[in-house]
Amino acid sequence: MVGVRDAKARLSYLLREAQQGREYIVTDRGKGIAKIVPVTNVQRSLADRLRRLEEIGVLEPGPKRVSPVSPPLPLKRGLARRLLDRDREG
């Protein structure tokens, strides 16, 4: 553990240590607020990264079955431009 003031003063050292595999928790008034950790060179799959985000509560899993999306409605040529222009004019 390292305090904020000390971490600011020794950041280069802490980063070199992290490159060697060491981890540090940065504290503010004794309470952990951040973590300095080494970056791994192993590229994890998208599925692994999503699973990890679900584990830590950043993502919630969606339904296992997704309903198909309808194809977009055909529009007359230039309609979108006219609608945008009309909207921008007020």
C-beta separation of 1 from 27 below 8 A? yes
pLDDT band at 43 (very low <50, low <70, confident <90, very high): confident
C-beta separation of 34 from 25 below 8 A? yes
Q: Domain locations in the chain?
A: 2-55
pLDDT digits (tens, 9 = 90+) for 54-77: 988 899 988 888 888 899 888 899
Which pLDDT does position 15 carry in this prediction? 95
Q: What residues have CB less than 8 Å from 35, skipping those under 6 apart?
A: 23, 24, 25, 26
Percentage of residues in the chain having pLDDT higher than 90: 52
Residue 50: CB atoms within 10 Å: 14
Q: Are strands 24-28 and 2-3 parallel, antiparallel or unpaired?
A: parallel
* Architecture of the domain spanning 2-55: 3-Layer(aba) Sandwich (3.40)
Which pLDDT does position 41 carry in this prediction? 57
Which pLDDT does position 45 carry in this prediction? 85
